[in-house]
A and B are shown apart, each in its own frame.
Chain A
Amino acid sequence: MHLLACRALFDAQVGHLPEELLLVRNWKILERCFPVLEVEFRKDGRNPLRLRFNCIDWNDQPPSVALLDSAGQALKVVPTVSPGAQAIFNQGPHPITRQPFICMAGVLEYHTHSSHLTDSWDNYKKRSAYELGEIVTQIWNGWLRTIS
């Protein structure tokens, strides 16, 4: 897709995230300038989680998502999931990035992982749940099921 079209779609989907929703969810938008969206999840009693979405080829490709701590450094240890809950955070290292990663459809590191090469992004990209803001929402919901 042409870069201008990627930018337009990026802006349409996350350019105007409702402030009221950001407050309710306790999200802090740190950067929102195509192709980067950086958002921090906060919750009382928890270490914040910062995510850096690189959406350079949105939405021909899903965003590449870097896991960061609140200082902006690469996360060394991924959050631990609650017993019985589905884990989307994978300690890795990812075969390409060599970093911990998010193992969930809608994230580039999932679709480029050797275990999921047959699960194409094309199967997801047209669903509401896989618009950019909803991918962030999905990861947030996964994070809320973690305990540290």
Chain B
Amino acid sequence: MSENSQGTGEQEIQGCGLNDVEKQLHEVHQKEEEELHKQHIAEEQSLHKAHEEEERELHEGLKKEPDRIFIKVCVLTISGRFPDEGFDTVGIDTKPRNELKRAIEALRLVGTDDWITRADSREIDPDKSYAENGLECEVKIDFGAREGGGG
């Protein structure tokens, strides 16, 4: 520090060389940026944690939505699975047809209008809700071609 370092702040700055002032300003900016960065990370972590908690609640069917129960579903076909891994979580009051439509699009199936939908080793009606089909908890929907004509 210079010989004027015992005086006021202004005198200190005046007594410093230009490089010293720039250095001090740089340090102040750096501290401000670090503070902002820390705040940003903390906010992101908080949001991420909230999102994870929401996902967890949703997947465990624990979400506190009155009169709403959830069910885990996936669609199995010869051509593949939808979703690729795990299950989608949907309301038990929704219809399997919705999940089938997403699977048909994802797996690029065509001409499936008369295909058979099964779950729990029995044929179900995809245009009735999961609840109406007597399904709950976790369901693997088996979707495949109906036997053709012959005889």
Asked if A pairs with B, the answer is yes
The A interface, classified by DSSP as helix, strand, loop or mixed, is helix
Q: Which residues of B contact A116 (CB under 8 A)?
A: 150
A87 to B110 Cα, complex, angstroms: 25
Which of B140, B142, B146, B150 is within 8 Å of A102, CB to CB?
B150
The answer to whether A40 has its CB under 8 Å from any CB of chain B is: no
Stretch in contact with the other chain, from B19-27, B73-81, B92-100, B127-135: B73-81
The answer to whether A98 has its CB under 8 Å from any CB of chain B is: no
The B interface, classified by DSSP as helix, strand, loop or mixed, is loop
Q: Which residues of A contact B147 (CB under 8 A)?
A: 86, 88, 104, 138-139, 141-142, 145
Interface residues on B, range: 20 to 34
Q: Which residues of A contact B112 (CB under 8 A)?
A: 128-129
- CB < 8 Å A-B pair total: 85
A7 to B140 Cα, complex, angstroms: 31
Q: How many residues of A contact B (CB 8 A)?
A: 35
B142 touches A21 (CB 8 A): yes
The answer to whether B151 has its CB under 8 Å from any CB of chain A is: yes
Give A133-148 interface residues, CB cut-off 8 Å to B: 133-142, 145
B148 touches A129 (CB 8 A): yes
Please name the residue on chain A nearest to B104 by beta carbon: A128
Give B110-134 interface residues, CB cut-off 8 Å to A: 110-112, 115-116
